[in-house]
Structure 1
Amino acid sequence: MAKGKIRTVLGDIDAKDLGFTMAHEHILTKPYGGGEKDNKDHILDDFPKAIQMLEEFKEIGGGAIIEATPESWGRDTPGMYLASKETGVNVVACTGYMNQDSGMTEKEDHLTIDDIADRMYNDVTKGMDGTSIKAGWVKCGASYNHITPNEEKVMRAGARVATETGACMHSHTTSGTMGIEILEILEEENFDLSRMILAHIDRFPDLWYHRKLLEKGANLIYDGPGKAKYYPDQLRVDLLKQLVEDGYEDQIMLSNDMGRRSHHKVYGYGPGFNWIKERFLPRLLDEGLSQEVLDKFMIHNPARVYQMKK
């Protein structure tokens, strides 16, 4: 069990108190910028519904939400603080960016690596959006099958800030691509890849690829279970079973990445925050994984990876 501190929106807590954790989620978002992402389905701005989703999560034993909404995707810092305080669910916020098509504008073209790093450092050590509420991790991201110059600047800035502050890094991947290339950039920055997380990686369900990422020491989040339009869950189950057999159970986390209204039961859709615990974990037990392994995915691995190292 991790013994360090995790930086939540309510302050630092002992890692052992993080609890059952959804490792990449969204409770409040209001994206800006153009492109396909600029539509109502991506706007989660109903505060009472945010409270409801966290209360329902807590009722089934939920302990923490790793909130993956950066400023450029409409981060609601006061809203996260109030939602966590009212429900008692730990919320860990991020600094950084998602990817080029998700909130970056011409402004980022003119920012240097140092400019981006200064903003990230302030968010982690002083507070986000003019508050004293601090970010607990650093976010970066890549586009589909390529990395833009702005995305690379964010990766390099993030690696430097994460190293300096002791925070972990966590990357968006578009359809699961560019994981190896992201890690290669971070290696150039001498970043400790055991502090790196790659999300949405199950959108590219390739066993060889996942093994290569894990061999480098990175952590993976499978956050697509239940989203049948992408792939049947049997693919994810088979990959998870093989990776556990390969000895990588300490580097894997599960979540649902519910950044749309159409992902949330409180907005009238689904699957909702409770689906992983109520549906997917029982299936993994039926498929032969142990409760000990599932506890690593949902409790122990997030508690270790998200803790501050300084």
Structure 2
Amino acid sequence: MSGTVRTVLGEVPVARLGVVDAHDHLFLRSPALPGEELAELPPAQAELAAFREAGGGAVVQWTPRGMGRRLADVVAASRATGVHVVAATGLHQAVHYEPAFLERTMGRLAELFVQDLTTAPVRAGLIKVASGFHGLDAHARHTMAAAAEAHHATGAPVAVHLELGTGALDVLDLLCGALGVPSPSVVLGHLGRSPDIRVQLAAARSGAFLAFDGPSRRHHATDWRLFDQLTALVEAGHAGKILLGGDTTTAGARREGPGPAFLVGDLMPRVEREFGADVARAVFVENPGRAFGRW
């Protein structure tokens, strides 16, 4: 594969990414999750080291602006472990911020996103935004408009937190319809949390990438439905649109596991047994390169 991915250590050829955890968090904090911060370097570095030991090559961190990205620590962990890390700019739902932060930033989001993607000391490689539950509120529409503007200026992909997996088609109507973001530049997250295969198939037909994530005690309900959903997508010819990630968002989830290494040691062999080596390589190696790369 040609093309490059922008990591926290610079541009990396897509072919060098290896096995990718397509949605995770090394660091994260939110007033909506008090006491559950991911804010320490040693545990984050240990997660990356275990991922590397299991055979992983790259992690895409979806933590957006104002939620404790700790980019200097991300750089340190990437250097220490040899795992490539892609960082995010963007903005989450309003509940994850203090009002003063939103007051300072909402009027210049596109400018800030573009800075993070082009001139910041540690540059982001994607734009993270979020929908609401079964719909798009004014905050979501505003942040997505800014994300689309930043995409058009930089070509960066737009990754979307779907609240409880809902609202995928509304998001696509806005981002790819009204705002003109090409659907292959959109990654829809958390689809497994609303296992509506008809919606998933429609989203895949649009050309967007579909991220299934969250194998943890906190999101256990997604685990046992995962392979039924993957089967429907693979059988419909959409293996090239599937991404898998861990999405560890809290200290409790990190303690409980299983962590990013589980993707390599457990899920990847299961995908290969179920669908064959070509599909496993697509899901864990080729699709992330196409979703987050620049061509």
TM-score (structure 1 length as normaliser): 0.90
> Within 2, Cα distance between the matches of 1:229 and 1:121?
33
> Within 1, Cα distance between the matches of 2:101 and 2:231?
44
1:36-115 alignment, distance < 5 Å? 37-41=32-36, 43-103=37-97, 105=99, 107-108=101-102, 115=108
For 1:158, the equivalent position in structure 2 comes to: 147
Q: In the TM superposition, what is the alpha-carbon distance from 1:259 to its structure 2 partner?
A: 1.0
For 1:144, the equivalent position in structure 2 comes to: 133
Change (3 A) 1:197 1:49: same
> Within 1, Cα distance between the matches of 2:216 and 2:70?
27
- Which ranges of 4 or more aligned residues in structure 1 deviate by more than 4 Å? 109-113, 226-230
Residue deviations 1:9-41, cap 9 Å, x none? 01111111111100010112233x4xxx23112
> Within 1, Cα distance between the matches of 2:74 and 2:101?
26
For 1:133, the equivalent position in structure 2 comes to: 122
Q: In the TM superposition, what is the alpha-carbon distance from 1:103 to its structure 2 partner?
A: 2.3
For 1:201, the equivalent position in structure 2 comes to: 191
> Within 2, Cα distance between the matches of 1:50 and 1:224?
17
Structure 2 letter corresponding to 1:40 = G
Q: In the TM superposition, what is the alpha-carbon distance from 1:240 to its structure 2 partner?
A: 0.3
For 1:247, the equivalent position in structure 2 comes to: 237
Q: Which moved more, 1:51-60 or 1:223-232?
A: 223-232
Residue deviations 1:201-250, cap 9 Å, x none? 10001110101111111110000335475426332101101110100001
Task: Give percent identity, aligned residues only.
Answer: 28
TM-score (structure 2 length as normaliser): 0.94
Q: Is the aligned partner of 1:281 residue 2:271?
A: no
1:168-247 alignment, distance < 5 Å? 168-186=157-175, 187-227=177-217, 230-231=220-221, 233-247=223-237
- Please list every run of 5 or more consecutive structure 1 residues that lacks an aligned counterpart in the other structure: none
Structure 2 letter corresponding to 1:220 = L
Q: Is the aligned partner of 1:302 residue 2:295?
A: no
Q: Is the aligned partner of 1:5 residue 2:40?
A: no
Structure 2 letter corresponding to 1:253 = L
> Within 2, Cα distance between the matches of 1:241 and 1:104?
41
Q: In the TM superposition, what is the alpha-carbon distance from 1:283 to its structure 2 partner?
A: 2.8
SS of corresponding position for 1:205: coil
SS of corresponding position for 2:93: coil
Q: Is the aligned partner of 1:14 residue 2:13?
A: yes
- Please list every run of 5 or more consecutive structure 2 residues that lacks an aligned counterpart in the other structure: none
Q: Which moved more, 1:276-285 or 1:138-147?
A: 276-285
Cα RMSD of the aligned pairs, angstroms, is 1.8
> Within 2, Cα distance between the matches of 1:103 and 1:228?
22
Q: In the TM superposition, what is the alpha-carbon distance from 1:292 to its structure 2 partner?
A: 1.1
Judge conservation of contact 1:220–1:251 (CA < 8 Å) in 2: yes
The correspondence for 2:258, drawn from 261, 267, 271, is 271
Structure 1 letter corresponding to 2:46 = Q
